Amino acid sequence: MPKLAANLTMLYNEVPFLDRFALAARDGFKAVEFLFPYAFKAEEIRKQLDANGLQLVLHNLPAGNWDAGERGIACHPDRTSEFREGVAQAIGYAKALGVGQLNCLVGKAPAGAADAQLRKTLVENLRYAATELKKAGLKLLVEPINTFDIPGFYLHGSAQTLSVLDEVGSDNAYLQYDIYHMQRMEGELAATMQKHLPRIAHIQLADNPGRNEPGTGEINYAFLFGHLDRIGYDGWIGCEYKPAATTEAGLGWLKQLQQ
């Protein structure tokens, strides 16, 4: 069975963030991920990781004003300086927290901007980020997002994202493949993950519809986990779902798959 990490942005969100680490460890997770660490001092987060024997496997680059609805700024031609400052901030946290990869949410396409300009900005920003992350020994991940949940998100398919990464041309830049998002946008989950396995550095999951825990929707996770084992995926899978009730009440899927 693949290695599973608790996404602490989504799971245990009934308690304060720094209290979620202990709950993840209690429930058997050996690793965690989350969207952003920046509201906390790195030392506070590191203390929770160490106290609970947890590995941090992923967090994101800064993504603009999240509370105002921004979902990344990497494709915004007028935000390049801000993006680069965010890269430096993220690397600082990554070094302190011992994480080996950072994800870039590229953002929603600004209204009225030409696609050619957006793509040029994105490629240049990702090339810069990949270069800076490589100096720090880190991987850069780029994640396509479904446009039902986030209308206008610039990267919304695996082939489109890989095309951008081809243009970036960095050997430490990879696809982050979110099963939920790609089920909504393109399907062909097993075949796509197998085809692009060497270029996928991280996978995330949730069921569809609803983005709840596995077993609540249409995706056959027992099959997909077996498939990932068969094709040799050895990375982490982040459990980035919204619990249908509470996190603890919804962990039956995990226990069942581990049998």
Please confirm, yes or no, whether 240 is among the known catalytic residues.
yes
Strand extents, DSSP E, the chain: 3-7, 31-33, 55-60, 101-104, 139-142, 173-178, 200-205, 236-239
Largest CA distance in the chain: 52
Indicate whether this model's pTM tops 0.75. yes
Which DSSP string corresponds to 161-203?
HHHHHHHH--TTEEEEEEHHHHHHHT--HHHHHHHTGGGEEEE
Please confirm, yes or no, whether 143 is among the known catalytic residues.
yes
Rg, C-alpha atoms of the chain = 17
Q: Catalytic one among 143, 186, 213, 218?
A: 143
First-to-final CA distance of the chain: 10
List the chain pLDDT tens, one digit each, 259 residues.
789 999 999 999 999 999 999 999 999 999 999 999 999 999 999 999 999 999 999 999 999 999 999 999 999 999 999 999 999 999 999 999 999 999 999 999 999 999 999 999 999 999 999 999 999 999 999 999 999 999 999 999 999 999 999 999 999 999 999 999 999 999 999 999 999 999 999 999 999 999 999 999 999 999 999 999 999 999 999 999 999 999 999 999 988 876 6
- H/E run at residue 127: helix 115-135
Closest CA to 165 of 135, 132, 138, 199: 199
Closest CA to 153 of 205, 109, 99: 109
Q: How many structural domains compose the chain?
A: 1
Which CATH number covers residue 93? 3.20.20.150
Domain containing 140: what range?
A: 3-257
Q: Under a CB-based contact definition with an 8 Å cutoff, are residues 192 and 186 in contact?
A: yes
According to DSSP, the residues that pair with 71 across neighbouring strands are none
